[in-house]
Amino acid sequence: MEFEGCSCFRQRLVLSTLSGKRVKIRNIRSKDDNPGLRDFEASFIRLLDKVTNGTRIEINQTGTVLFYQPGLLYGGSVEHECNVQRSVGYYLEALLMLAPFMKTPLRAVLKGVTNDPTDPSVDLLKVTAIPLMKKFGIDGDGLEIKVLKRGMAPEGGGEVLFTCPVRRSVKPVQLTETGKIKRIRGTAFSVRVSPQMANRIVDSARSVLNKFIPDIYIYTDHMKGASSGKSPGFGLTLVAETVNGTFLGAEVVSTPQGQGDPVLPEDLGRNCAKLLLEEIYRGGCVDSTNQSLALLYMTLGQQDVSKTLLGPLSPYTIEFLRHIRDFFQMMFKIEQQKPGEDEQKGGEKVLMTCVGAGYSNISKTIK
Amino acid sequence: MEKKEQKRHQHKHSGPKAQKKNRKREQGQEQDERKRNPRAFSVQSAVRMAKTFHRTQDIKTKKHHIPLVDRTPLEPPPVVIVVMGPPKVGKSTLIRCLIKNYTRQKLSDICGPVTIVSGKKRRLTLIECNNDINSMIDLAKVADLVLMLIDASFGFEMETFEFLNICQVHGFPRVMGVLTHLDTFKNNKTLRKTKKRLKHRFWTEVYQGAKLFYLSGMVYGEYQTQEVKNLGRFISVMKFRPLVWRTSHSYVVADRMEDLTDPEAIRLNPKCDRTVSLYGYLRGTFLKNKCQVHIPGVGDFSVADVSFLPDPCPLPEVIKKRALNVKERLLYAPMAGVGGLVYDKDAVYIDMPSGHASRQQEEVRPTTELVHSLIGTQATLDAKMAASKVSLFTGAAALTPEEVQENEKQNPMEIREWDEKAQRERRRAVFADEDDDEEESDDEEEEEEEEDEEEEDEEGLTTLKKEDEKAAPPVKKQKFEERVEMPAFADSDDELEKSEDDESEEEEDEGDEENEEMEEGEPVKRSSGPDSGLCSEEDDEDEEEDSDMDEDGDGIVKSKMSSKPPEEENLDTEDAEMGYETAGALRWKEDLAQKASEAYLRHQLATPNLRKLVYGTVAEKEEEDSNDEEELGGLFKVSRPEKSKKVRADAMDCSRFHPDSSHDWDQEEMLASIRDCFVTGKWEEDKDAATLLKEDDELYGDFEDLETGEVHKAKTKAEGENDDEINGDDDDDDEEEEAPQVKLDDDEVQKNKRLEKKRRLKERFDAQYDDGDATYFDDLKEEMQKQAELNRQEFEDVDDEVRVQYEGFRPGMYVRVEIPALPCEFVTNFDPHYPVILGGLGPSEGNVGYLQMRLKKHRWHSRILKTRDPLILSLGWRRFQTIPLYYIEDHNGRHRLLKYTPEHMHCGATIWGPITPQGTGFLAVQTVGGIKANFRIAATGVVLDLDKSVTIVKKLKLIGYPYKIFKNTCFIQGMFNTVLEVAKFEGASIRTVSGIKGQIKKALRTPPGAFRATFEDRLLMSDIAFLRSWYPVSVPQLYNPVTSLLMPVGQKDTWAGMRTLGQLKHDLDIRNKPNQDSLYKPVVRQIRHFNTLHIPKELQKALPFKNKPKQMQAKGKTPRDLQRPAVVREPHEKKVAALLDALSSVYAYKNKKAKAEQHAKHKEFLKQKDKQDAERQKRLKEERKKTFRAMGQKEKKKLKSSLKGASKDN
């Protein structure tokens, strides 16, 4: 399969790895002043090479053409130095998609930036993606994301441990009921700044959310010494849990040192709370960052009907759906659900329905 | 021995006995067995009770299977029945008889699969399996039922067993044995014995009690009707088990093949790659468009296009009668030329059935009618062919006229023929021919033209057609069809879509990117036929609403589009799909802008269509199309900046969804809009805690407080009792609100409420009591059941065209699969007697890698297998040759290479081959060419693991010799060549042949490769030190698919791949010079010489004389003087001596004679004596007896008298 440009770079490589189809990407920033693959993309390719066996990667001299022939997903113990241009979340999102289909359970230690403003942070994925994976039958002791060290944006220095068990197949799901939000949890963290920052964040975030629900608890997490990374910063991750076990998350991080105006912790807390409200407004059984993950697992499920209620599709998800069609010849039935007249449950929802591709983990050994 | 009629027992109906019995019965009824006899049921032993309980539970759980979701299609594809057997056993005859039994038709030549309707719910596809191991393997993979024919007069043949083993490996289909040639047995007893013998052998192979049929004799070259009928009944009621491989892979047993290659291309290069369409029922699971398939015997191909066709052999629609009528007993066998048409490579033969059969057929099959009419028209052959496709399609008899027309449009039969001829002229001929027909048919012809221009779009076109019918009222249908120009429709459709998208923009306010996408979307939507044809339900609704507009649009479009020649459209389609721009694209784009703007105005209020947004457009592709902006018009120009393309192509790869800027979360309204998302918000009616509580109250409200003695009554009960007062009294808010409205039908409401309450009560009760013994297994089963239900229902009401997009083509559909780039030999050497199977491949199953498998040499195969000898494997759908390496796993997990497979044990094998899911079975044969005398299946096994690298090692011993020895240290040379090599092995343990262990210490500078080693003991110079190491072996990357279908007709079973080393040596007559040391030579034993025993002198002295070595000299030669001289006689002396000799011999003779006489006399005498003795003895014995008897009597008398005396005394 051939593609142009480096948008959706991860999607293409991940789907290629899962479907076994080789991929050629041309014209990667060919018109750019600095053509070719960026360091973080190269680092991503290296990570893929580490978790697979027999992958063939060819990059031309300028880095504008990439040929990727996927091998088999191997897993095992992997340690990867992620590029600091993107946060660990960038790499972790791809690993979440691949991890259940490995030969041996994955235990990946990713080092780099744990929180930055562009990508979903490790904390957010921990509180939203992991419960989502559990719904697809990927659970057990092994499934865990752990922040060993926290590293903020420009310099990094964080360390994240991700472990995931392997599965032969993924269960079909019927996630059509969001349920009502019963509690809000969160983590306010601060590294290499005053620990008071976290408390200030918590107070401001609570002030917004208290109007809706009293059951709010925001942990403060101040890391010191070796586990505090190389750059200062602070941030907040909020997650709303519904009675049906849906987790909707939002997060805001302080602007990295030396990039743009600094933010006040109070503003940050309020913004984050508002983002969470926005996420709740969008609604659905899967939050907006994990839409593609949920859709991928639905695609790779057994040959049964899966349904998921999502909020409005993000542009990333729309691209992902197209790529799923290209790689797996799978189309989703997309039905829009308008909110009722007197209901006050946020915006439009989208009900995604598909028949799984009957994918089975071909890497796993049988004895 | 006659049986007497016994008098039956008379029950008493009256009298005391009857009364007693009645009393007993009454008691028994009212009293439980347990109650009446409690001791019999009491627990005697707790241990035994536990044991029995365990046992019953064990038996129960043993019966459980892992529940699977039931994915069988509602309308299943025909059952594949493979008729298998060695040659001359009666396969064709049986098929013919079965066909006759089911359809009352006679098929002369069985050629390719034959599909028949056998019952109200079952269709059968009969395939004959010829005596080629390739066909046997392929058909075993698709067969649902195997009819295994066995020549009873001969017994089992090797093929039968081979086939059974093949079946076993690839999941066991149902197997039914059929014994034929039973009429050759003259003797009834041998017949019976043979039957029994064969039956038991068959049972051991299949399973105990497997069905074996007997076809006893032939009547006019056919089997007896009754027996065939019985067999048919068995087939009709047979149930089949789902097999793992087949439920996870889609497959098609092709029953038709058409070559679609451009005839011009063939003319230019007869060996060019062909585009071929294959037809057949889809089986297994869903087939996705553009997936990869494997055709066993040809290779892997990617499907260019899949479309479904109306069923050529449909089941009866309405089932009202008990049996099928003659019209419904359909027969479909295109390869055998059923339907009056036989397709040959360069001609079409029309077969006229003769005699009574034809008359019957005439009424039955409209096909024949049309064929007749065809013949009547005396048109050119081309015209006939064109028309023939029309006729064939009507073969689907049960369709309505409209549908029939559609079918005709889609007729698949025609396609191959067209490609052979020049398209233009033929088409013209059709026009001329059919001109006098109604105009409708004319239109159809036009459509057909288009169709063969752009075959890929076929699917899309039909969709359009259907949608069109749906949208417009039926009256208008005619009109529509008249001016149907397919691309125009596609456009008009797109107008709708686009405009909808535009509105969605407004509504969704998603920012400019979507806007962009939508606008970019148009060209592709317009151009790619299938895509534009797709419409979700919402879309359909839209269309219905706006049907008038639709028509308007059509009008406009038609006038514009009709001028365009179809070729150009075709170009457009392809171009757009390829993402290139051509000049042809410009023209149609001009009107687009106009139309779009019009439509935009019209459809401002329609709903957005997300599906179009996601799938209808692909952002990157259109960018190129729209480079020149003048053709796009004002509307599009605005929203797309020139460099947007680059931005999109290299956009930031981030999954975050940035929030909508329009939402201001400081405002109260916004906050209010999500109020209900929280538990603190308002709940739905059925989940509200208040209502739930109230219901609970209704159910469980009745209770009595034992302490206070207060009695609480449920409120609603009271309500129920006094209906009249209810409205006012109700304390529930909702009901209060509703009350005024529903006042009129009060009773109704009350009734509903009561019903509802009852239902809830029942549910609760069920939950409480059923869940008690509901096990995990039951839960799982229920879950699966639910999923199956959901699977069935989810897409049930969706139109097939759309449904296919979501699900893929579902099993049971009759599909046409177009495959490009097939080797020309497939077409030129096509033989319908060989099955053509399209096996769908899952994701990444088209790749090649290393496979680790568990393998066992078949116990009937005569030889063990050698590592690196090529082997032909049948794995998944594939048959391929590869080079396996055999290994065995050591205790420490090391995979050690084996030179040969073990004789009776499993071993591992690693091959380079196609990625196939683990757990798939395979079988191996050494050759597929020719028929060898012995059992051909060499090995069987299962795939364990897939990998891209191998871990097999073989043992390597490095040998070195000591050249200097200091105590326990010594210098060893000859093991390595350089210092570096030694450095790598520093610390490795070495050993001498005599068993002294040691370690490599350090390399020496000279000689290169020598090193210092220490040992646990001193070495000798004659010792040899060796290092045991493991050397990784690489698996040869040979993957050579068996291309038996490409062989010329009649030689398809002669495929030969790579030869084994042994064969090569044999063929080239190469002999290895063996190592002289390895040769066997005759064993010659040397005679051993022992030294003489030496006894010391001292000892000699001490010995007793007899043991002393004797000092005697050996006797020397007699001296000459002592030797006696030889006597030389005179003649006279000689005479004397002779006389004396004669006399002495006479004397000796006389003596001898006398002795013999004497001996005889003595013998006689002895006999006499014996006789006398015997007589004497006899006499003596009698005498003795007499005396003893007398004595005994005397004694007795004495005793008696004394006893008498004694008794007297007493």
The ipTM assigned to this model is 0.89
Please enumerate in sequence order all residues whose Cβ is within 8 A of that of B520, keeping only pairs 6 or more positions apart, or say none: B617, B619, B622, B623, B626, B640
The arithmetic mean of pLDDT across residues B286-309, rounded, is 89
Query: Closest partner residue to B656 among A103, A289, A353, by Cβ?
Result: A289
**Which of B168-177, B454-463, B748-757, B1159-1168 has the weakest average pLDDT?**
B454-463
In chain B, % of residues over pLDDT 70: 67
User: Which residues of chain A lie closer than 8 angstroms to B918, CB-CB?
Assistant: 362, 364-366
> Which residue from B147, B148, B128 is spatially nearest to B138, judged by alpha carbons?
B128
Chain A interface, mutation test: which of B654, B666, B845, B916, most A Cβ atoms within 10 Å? Answer: B654
Instruction: Give the rounded percent of residues in chain B with a pLDDT score beyond 90.
Output: 31
Please tell me what DSSP assigns to residue B278.
E
Question: Contact A333/B806, CB-based, under 8 Å?
Answer: yes
B286 contacts A355? CB cut-off 8 A: yes
- Judge: B808–A329 Cβ closer than 8 Å, yes or no: yes
The whole-angstrom separation of Cα B303 and Cα B815 is 12
Residues of B in contact with A344 (CB under 8 A): 672-677, 681-682
Q: Tell me the nearest-neighbour CA distance from B694 into chain A, angstroms.
A: 21
Question: B500 versus A173: which is more confidently predicted?
Answer: A173
Q: How many Cβ pairs within 8 Å bridge chains A and B?
A: 238
Q: What is the pLDDT of residue B321?
A: 65
CB contact under 8 A, B648 and A7: yes
The mean pLDDT of chain A is 89
Q: Give B519→chain A minimum CA distance, Å.
A: 15
Do the beta carbons of residue A365 and residue B944 sit within 8 Å? yes
- Which of B607, B654, B846 is facing A316, going by the closest CB pair? B654
Q: Has residue B477 got a pLDDT over 50? A: no
Q: Which residues on A lie below 8 Å from B288 (Cβ)? A: 328-330, 357
Pick the residue from chain A with its C-alpha nearest to B649: A5
Q: What are phi and psi of B852, to 5 degrees?
A: -105, 130
At which residue do the structure tokens 């326990």 appear? B968
pLDDT at B937: 92
CB contact under 8 A, A212 and B613: no
* Span B945-973, pLDDT tens digits: 888 888 899 999 999 999 999 999 999 99
Q: Kindly report the number of other CB atoms within 10 A of residue B1163's CB atom.
A: 10
Whether A328 sits inside 8 A of B948 (CB atoms) is no
May I ask the CATH class of domain B79-349+804-827? alpha beta
Confirm or reject CATH 2.40.30.10 for domain B955-1032, answering yes or no: no
- The answer to whether B808 contacts A32, with C-beta atoms less than 8 Å apart, is no
- Closest Cα to residue B103, out of B462, B480, B360? B360
Work out the minimum CA distance from B675 to partner chain A, whole angstroms.
6
Q: Span B507-521, mean pLDDT?
A: 42
Contact list, B615 vs chain A (CB under 8 Å): 321-322, 325, 331
**Gap from B208 CA to chain A (nearest CA, Å):** 30
Residue B1119 pLDDT: 82
Q: Which residues does chain B have within 8 Å of residue A321's beta carbon, measured at their own beta carbons? A: 614-615
Dump pLDDT digits (tens) for B841-875. Answer: 988 888 898 999 999 999 999 889 999 999 999 99
CA atoms of B328 and B67, how far apart (whole Å): 37
Q: Which residues of A touch B613 (CB under 8 A)?
A: 318
Q: Give CA–CA dist A315/B655, Å, rounded.
A: 8
Q: What is the pLDDT of residue B52?
A: 93
> Does the beta-carbon distance from B918 to A366 stay under 8 Å?
yes
Distance from B299 to chain A by nearest Cα, in Å? Answer: 18
Cα–Cα distances in angstroms (integers) from residue A125 to residues A122, A196, B652, in the given order: 5, 25, 19
Answer yes or no: do B653 and A304 touch at CB < 8 A. no
Contact B678 A283 (CB under 8 A): no
Cβ separation of B674 and A280 shorter than 8 Å?
A: yes
Q: Residue B764 — φ and ψ, nearest 5°?
A: -65, -40
Residue B648: per-residue pLDDT? 65
Two structure tokens written together for B676: 């209900």
Give which of B870, B879, B851, B868 is closest to B943, Cα–Cα.
Answer: B851
Contact call for residues A250 and B634 (beta carbons, < 8 A):
no
Residues in chain A with CB shorter than 8 Å from the CB of B652 are: 7, 118
CB contact under 8 A, A19 and B71: no
Q: Cβ contact (<8 Å) for B844 and A21?
A: yes
Query: How many Å apart are CA B1210 and CA B1196, to the nearest integer?
Result: 21
pLDDT of B12 reads 83
Contact between chains at B670 and A277 (C-beta distance less than 8 A): yes
With contact defined as beta carbons under 8 Å apart, do B367 and B395 qualify?
yes
Identity of the residue in A18, A214, A329 whose CB atom sits nearest the CB atom of B291: A329
Write down all domains in chain A, each with its CATH number in brackets: 1-72 (3.30.110), 181-282 (3.30.360.20), 286-355 (3.30.1370)
Nearest chain A residue to B516, by CA: A315
CA distances from B752 to A191, B475, B695, B701, B759 (A): 63, 44, 14, 20, 10
Burial label, B636 (beta-carbon count in 10 A; 0-12, 13-18, 19+): buried
Tell if the CB–CB gap between B682 and A344 is shorter than 8 Å.
Answer: yes
**Residue B421: per-residue pLDDT:** 36
Mean pLDDT, chain B, as a whole number?
74
What are the structural domain ranges in chain B? 79-349+804-827, 842-952+1041-1067, 955-1032
Q: What is the DSSP letter of A63?
A: S
pLDDT the model gives residue B993: 93
Cβ distance A345 to B676 less than 8 Å, yes or no, reads: yes
What is the per-residue pLDDT across B214-258, written as a single tens digit (0 to 9) for each?
988 788 888 888 999 999 999 988 888 888 899 889 999 998 888
- Answer yes or no: do A362 and B794 touch at CB < 8 A: no
Across the interface, whether the CB atoms of B843 and A313 are under 8 A apart is answered no
Residue B350 has what pLDDT?
55
The minimal CB distance from A213 to the residues B288, B649, B680 is found for: B680
pLDDT-derived band at B707 (thresholds 50, 70, 90) equals: low
Q: B991 falls in which pLDDT band (50, 70, 90)?
A: very high
Altogether, the residues listed in chain A come to a count of 367
Q: What is the pLDDT of residues B1085-1138, one digit of tens each?
A: 999 999 888 889 899 889 998 888 877 777 778 888 888 888 889 999 999 999
A355 to chain B: which residues are within 8 Å by CB? 286, 791, 794-795, 806-808
Q: What distance in Å separates residue B538's CA from the closest CA in chain A?
A: 8
| Contact yes or no for A364 and B508 at CB 8 A | no
pTM: 0.69
Cβ-Cβ contacts under 8 Å, A357 against chain B: 288, 842-843
- The model's pLDDT over B836-850, given as tens digits with 9 standing for 90+, comes to 999 999 888 888 989
CA–CA dist B119, B1081 (Å, integer): 75
Task: Give pLDDT < 50 ranges for chain A.
Answer: none
8 Å CB contact between B665 and B671: yes
Which of B245, B614, B687 is most worth mutating to test chain A (most A CB atoms within 10 A of its CB)? B614
Q: Does domain B842-952+1041-1067 have CATH number 2.40.30.10?
A: yes
